[in-house]
Structure 1
């Protein structure tokens, strides 16, 4: 009954099989091997256009290096109030960019408010000392919600009207695609997104993330930035192997659908509970539930795990927890949790 995080789950069999399959013989280093080049082509097929792909080991590296590629003196990036780039990456974007600032925008339940975005941009007029250069949207959000295509399109249009580039943090991109039932192209470049941090680690990979650029050549110095950050792999084929197993036969979406389905079983059980309730409705594999403190103690005593979520008022004998399902979560674990609660 481990619902602490999808990061806690191991790598999926197809990912591990691919790594083992490609662990033989010799291959050119630094991404010049046929497997790595083939995976880049696979990304182009997935997104229905030619893309540029920069592998990294972590989502923080993908986010910060991508956003740093937009940096200029006085540059600022607008993001959600509780975006991962703002709250959980220890200033990585500021560090990688040489000091570019992040500015939070009001984002109820994780989704940026278009009026708030326009108002924030108005406070940074053209010709000012701070220059908005980028908009960062997280899909799926830190609150377990998703931006539908229309909302991404609206926000991207506002940003582009001021010449900003649009970044999407896709740490749980697969879960968002699965929940929305749209193609990867529809929710990204066709909606106005310029580049994407494509996450694999939370959904079955073990160290495979990528900056996917929808207009090749957008970042003139990314190779040097990635090298300086320590994310240029000599044995790139092992990152590519993970993506080969992850992307083949639609495994990336299949695994995300399973995680989302297990989360919906949790939500359904909590909705029907007499002692627990949902903090809010979510869309993907993150469930936010208000449960008795005694129930959390019982869960932990049984060897289970859930993360206490701060910042939301609940009753004195209650606690808000985030429950995250994964590709490896079973129906038995879900029923076990509901039985404990």
Structure 2
């Protein structure tokens, strides 16, 4: 009954099998291995972008920060949601890797609106040399509150950015989960909507630790290569990153895993509704934010359930409503979900 994070689940056996197969003999280092050629070809096919530059790193923080650094000058600002991962959960890594670019938080919730984004962009770059210049827009898909932007919403945000001649970055740590919800293609959710660069996540969806950074304009490739090396994120034994991503893409494992995670979350959400839980956000993908009385949380934790409380402590008034975040990955069984619901 582990619902703390989709980072906490196991590596998919199909990925481990391919990593084991790759662990024989010798392979060229630093991304020159044959498996990386397969990854580049496959991702270009998947995204319908034959000229795209493809790069692998081991963490989502590295993917987001290095991608933004490539798109952003130190004297610029990145526009993002107040709850974006790059703002709340990356210890100022984007600011560090960009050489000091700041983040400008777009007013509102987890999903930016075109009106709020336009107002934020218009409010910067107006003080000449004294203020930050306008820089990239970063969109999180799935958002940090479990919501999914529709294709029209993505297009509208990108249209605002393009109106100011600004690049757009998509933080796709849960890219596959969002795509499954929308029933669209990767191209439709990225460059066809106006996205310039995407952090294509794998770690939260069954990989050991690898994310792909994709630039649809290959002119960014060399700068990213230099920034990745300078930032200490170029693996020498790169074949183990390549093998993970290759296994992820073969036989559409990335889509199968996301569908399983989303289905698990839907089963859990249905059960929570039946139990009378209060939903803080509509659970579009595989993250659920709900509240129920503290005494129920206390009972669940006492019986070994693992998840994150959201804005409160386990100790206190037993009848007070207390929020939590529950996340499902591909591996959680229906038995575990049902046992958790039975305890509630």
What range describes the TM-score normalised by the shorter chain of this pair? over 0.9
Give the distance between the partners of 1:117 and 1:219, measured in 2 at CA: 28
Mapped to 2, the partners of 1:106 and 1:267 lie a distance apart of: 29
Which of residues 131, 147, 151 in structure 2 aligns to 1:145?
Answer: 147
Offset from partner CA, 1:138-188 (integer Å, 9 cap, x none): 000001000111001000010011111000000011110111111111000
1:298 CA displacement: 1.6
Q: 1:327 aligns with which of 310, 317, 330?
A: 330
The answer as to whether partners of 2:66 and 2:97 remain within 8 angstroms in 1 is yes
Q: Tell me what 1:89 maps to.
A: 90
User: Quick check: 1:47 aligned with 2:47?
Assistant: yes
Residue 277 of structure 1 and its aligned partner are, at CA, apart by 2.3
What's the offset of the Cα at 1:194? 0.2
The correspondence of residues 256-271 of structure 1 with structure 2, limited to 5 A, is 256-271=258-273
Match of 1:201 among 195, 199, 203: 203
- Superposition deviation, residue 220 in structure 1: 4.3
Equivalent residues in 2 for 1:1-341 (5 A)? Answer: 1-50=1-50, 51-108=52-109, 110-125=110-125, 128=128, 129-274=131-276, 276-310=277-311, 317-341=320-344
The DSSP-based 3-state class of the residue aligned with 1:252 is helix
* Aligned alpha-carbon RMSD (Å): 1.5
Q: 1:49 Cα deviation (Å)?
A: 1.2
Alpha-carbon distance between aligned partners in 2 of 1:324 and 1:76, rounded to the nearest angstrom: 31
Q: Is residue 153–residue 192 contact of structure 1 (8 Å, CA) maintained in 2?
A: yes
1:74 Cα offset (Å):
2.0
> Using the alignment, how far apart are the partners of 2:92 and 2:323 within structure 1?
27
Consecutive aligned runs of 4 or more in structure 1 exceeding 4 Å deviation = none
User: TM-score, normalization: structure 2?
Assistant: 0.95
Distance in structure 2 (CA, Å) of the matches to 1:124 and 1:317: 42
> Does the 8 A contact of 1:80 with 1:104 survive in 2?
yes
Contact between 2:201 and 2:210, CA under 8 Å: does it hold in 1? yes
Distance 2:275 2:92 in 1: 40
Q: Check whether the contact 1:133–1:163 (CA below 8 A) recurs between aligned residues.
A: no
Contact 1:76 1:102 in 2 (8 A): yes
Asked if 2 retains the 8 angstrom alpha-carbon contact of 1:267 and 1:278, the reply is no
* TM-score (norm: length of structure 1): 0.96
Gaps of 5+ in 2: none
Q: CA deviation at 1:330?
A: 0.8
Query: More deviation in 128-137 or 188-197?
Result: 128-137
- The Cα shift of 1:13 comes to 0.7
Aligned partners of 2:74 and 2:99 also within 8 Å: no
- Flag structure 1 segments of 5+ consecutive residues without an equivalent: none
